[in-house]
Amino acid sequence: MSEKRNHKEYLAIRLGVLGDVILTTGVLNYWHVKRGMRFHMVTRSTLAPIFEHHPAVSQILTVHDQDLHGSAWLSFCHSLRQNFGHLPLLDLHKNLRTSFLALTWPGPKFSYAKYSLERRLFLATRHNFFSTRLKKTNVPQRYSLALENYPPHPSLLRPKIFLTPEELQLATQTLHTLGLTRPVAIHPYATHPAKSPAPKIWQQVIQLLKSQGHEVIIIGHNPKPLAPNWNQDLTNTTSLRQTAALLCHCYCLISGDSGPMHLATAINTPVIALFGPTTQEWGFYPSGPKDIVYQLACPKAPCSLHGQNNCTQTQTCMEHLTSENIVALVQTISD
């Protein structure tokens, strides 16, 4: 294990989706602060802003979606070997694509504890043995096992987005233009619809929050904005970093299991996280000191690895949520 810690510079790779990539940021920062390590970070071009101004990241190397397949990926891997083959490879993705890169890497290579077998066995059996094992670590802790004998406490690996004063000031101006100061942010979308309440529930949540005197904004990206004719629906109008800066000024974020959920944690805004088809075993619970996880009870949960499957029950678990349930959680957050 000491060999892993002898290096001060690594080529690290994490592709994936928004939440997966955000969860690497705290781990990189931990290694940088504790051991002075720095990283050349390989990620999708759309996710590169996550690492901007990160003190542990020397360079962001981007790959476009069209270059992740076939000969284009082989060519990209060849370029990485030519330019960074003298560095150890840190695989924080660990799929077939990155495993090929590791297989052909000329220098040392290290990868994280993905627990793929344990997750699939738990999904198939619901056995307490696998549940207990998976609950011992969250995803950032599993990333850390690429270089650590034992995972640090989750609070030491909490994700971090490093915003500039200019970005924060622009967010203040945006809210001022809307007549807002400290709104509750709503993220009513999900890549897999089963992971978020229905639009009618979110609309009821907004109305109830406003009736109680809360300011509200909607964030996120979706082909069908929740309230397209409402000027406080910022769907599809802000970049990733602009969204993070806006969240810095919010009282809290209400979201399903999503990338923006981790974005809020990464800038220390309290999260009310609504979990249904995915559970603690998958390791994605937010880890902020004021974050609140509301896990709906369902005997079939988790029903898939990512919450993407159709529900086999007469109703999805999220349909058991009411606006009153959700808004009551807002009242539990203290300043």
Average pLDDT over residues 60-66: 97
From residue 51, alpha-carbon distances to 128, 141, 294, 306 in Å are 37, 19, 29, 24
Q: Where in the chain is the domain with CATH 3.40.50.2000?
A: 2-157, 165-330
Buried b / exposed e along 205-243 (16+ C-beta atoms within 10 A): bbebbeeeebbbbbbbbeeebbbeeeebbbbeebebbbb
Predicted confidence (pLDDT) at residue 273 exceeds the cutoff of 80: yes
Q: Model-level pTM?
A: 0.95
- At the second CATH level, the architecture of 165-330 is 3-Layer(aba) Sandwich (3.40)
Residues 6+ apart with CB under 8 A from 160: 25, 26, 29, 54, 266
* pLDDT greater than 80 at residue 328: yes
pLDDT tens-digit series, residues 181-219: 999 999 999 988 888 999 999 999 999 999 999 999 999
| 271-284 mean pLDDT | 95
Mean pLDDT of 224-229: 94
Distance separating alpha carbons of residues 94 and 109, to the nearest angstrom: 11
pLDDT value at position 114?
94
Residue 94 has pLDDT above 90, yes or no: yes
CATH topology of domain 2-157: Rossmann fold (3.40.50)
Range 275-287 average pLDDT = 95
